[in-house]
Structure 1
């Protein structure tokens, strides 16, 4: 991901060689996952097995919160349908 010099006024900033460290970490994790698993289905099965393993060991976690609705009228319309 390229950045503009205006965002980083440091004198040694070179937009041609700058990369976002967070994005680079995401790419590194993606490469590791791709190297370990041959398909998305295989990765999904691994995650399901890990989830079952941790659940069996008694680990507790919070489920994902429900989607926030900005407009209460939208919520009422979806309940009627």
Structure 2
């Protein structure tokens, strides 16, 4: 049995998202600094739309982004648990 790696997990998630109609854009094609992990404008739009009925404020959206940016960059599993 082969080891399940982060790379295999990433490929499996990308395939699943593509099956559901979400396009995959390789990171090198995105307009952002190579060190930027979050696509902040997309996240802002998503949060504003998803939580519009709850009347989410721009300040709350920025707080979410700030919280995500503060997560450690090491320890994939720990960061994933914190996000969820």
Rg larger for: 1
Same fold, TM-score > 0.5, yes or no: no
TM (normalized to structure 1)?
0.32
TM (normalized to structure 2)?
0.32
- The structure with higher relative contact order (CA 8 Å, sep 6+) is 1
